[in-house]
């Protein structure tokens, strides 16, 4: 599984970007919570979500 590409999210409106940012932050929180409670998670997803969040935050500041 490769990292998400910025081309996939460039065409989103600023409202969609804000919704997606909130969604990813919630997903990251849930993943950290599962990790803390020793539940089974795929650790490489952290990197992918953080990468996508960084891209979205960069696009948000540009617009």
CA-closest candidate to residue 17, choices 59, 45, 46, 54: 59
Sequence-distant (≥ 6) Cβ neighbours of residue 6 within 8 angstroms: 55, 59
Look at residue 56 in the predicted model and tell me its pLDDT: 93
3 belongs to a structural domain: no
* Number of structural domains in the chain: 1
Look at residue 49 in the predicted model and tell me its pLDDT: 93
16 belongs to a structural domain: yes
Boundaries of domain holding 44:
10-62
| Token code pair at residue 58 | 């960069």
21 belongs to a structural domain: yes
CA-closest candidate to residue 60, choices 25, 18, 28: 18
27 belongs to a structural domain: yes
Question: Residues of 19-37 as b/e, b for ≥16 C-beta within 10 angstroms?
Answer: ebbeebeeeeeebeeeeee
Look at residue 20 in the predicted model and tell me its pLDDT: 93
Look at residue 1 in the predicted model and tell me its pLDDT: 63
5 belongs to a structural domain: no
1-54 pLDDT tens trace: 677 778 878 888 889 999 999 999 999 999 999 999 999 988 899 999 999 999
Look at residue 5 in the predicted model and tell me its pLDDT: 78
């Amino acid at each position: 599984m490769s990292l998400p590409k910025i081309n996939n999210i460039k065409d989103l409106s600023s409202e969609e970007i804000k919704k997606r940012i909130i969604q990813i932050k919630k997903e990251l929180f849930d993943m950290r919570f599962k990790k803390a409670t020793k539940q089974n998670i795929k650790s490489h997803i952290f990197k992918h979500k953080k990468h996508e969040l960084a891209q979205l935050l960069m696009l948000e500041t540009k617009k």
